[in-house]
Structure 1
Amino acid sequence: MNKYLILCVDDEREVLDSVIQDLDCFEEHFLLEAAESVQEAKHLIDEFEQQDVKLALIVCDHIMPETTGIQFLIDLNQQTSTQATRKLLLTGQAGLEDTVEAVNHSSLDFYISKPWQGDELRAAVKQQLTQYVLKNEKDLMPWASILDTEKIFEAVAQNRLSYGE
């Protein structure tokens, strides 16, 4: 089932390592990668796209050297191959204007302030991945034990009603 990628982007290595550690529970079913820059993130996205691995979720910091996380998320939202990607901003430095821009132009799906709690991050990621899978997978049952079981079962039941099974 590792045909989906979770990509975490932050220019501070310690923060990135902490995020990856908090999300390692998803590694059995998703590819989990880290990038210390937007350039590295773009390279990883391209590399995985060539292997037919889709970017399901990006967890991105805002303040980074070459471009902001919000601008990167806006860029991803404008590309067909990453438009469906769930976008989570994890930052302590985005002001109200930046956040509004992210919501309005990047289809930001979730926002978590630094410092974060591991449980809070895992719960948000689980919900975002559930939303992604519901919109992009035909066979939902294998995901029921990994993601939001209740939402997966509701979708399966709704699909059966829709198709008259």
Structure 2
Amino acid sequence: MSQRDRFEAIYDACYPAIHQYAARRTGSPDDTADVIAETFLTAWRRVDDVPEGEKALLWLYGVARRVLANQRRGAVRRAALAERLRAELAAERPVTPVELEHVRAAFDELPERDREVLALACWEGLTSEQIAEVVGGTAIAARTRLHRARRRLAATLERRHFPEIAMGEA
């Protein structure tokens, strides 16, 4: 019997039981489907490790149990992250739509090279060393690029907010 045939036999024999196991332990059909998919993906990858006969179902129950535990840990981590983000956002001064539009327009005026390093630093939270790995080069070069991009963004913001100063009319 080929590995594919063996997997299909295991799947056909055990799917109903694994479906019921997952459905009784999850809160939504999507979560149930995720548990089933992950369980049988593990079985496919490790088909040679799946025991014969009735023990195959017990092995799959063990896999499904671990998948559910990982799913719960992920949900706890996501909830903690969401709470932390809510607290951080509540502590910040709200940005007005006008301010946001000025920043967005100034950002869009920058060359692609500047936008790239600013996005990696600000949106992705990368350090100069990490930016260097992403864009290639040294950490010193990335730090220099980031400094210059920030300076150009500040100048663009100043020019957009106070055009008379930028044009030397003050």
Structure-2-length-normalised TM-score? 0.26
Structure-1-length-normalised TM-score? 0.26
Who wins on radius of gyration, i.e. which is larger? 2
Q: Which has the higher strand share?
A: 1
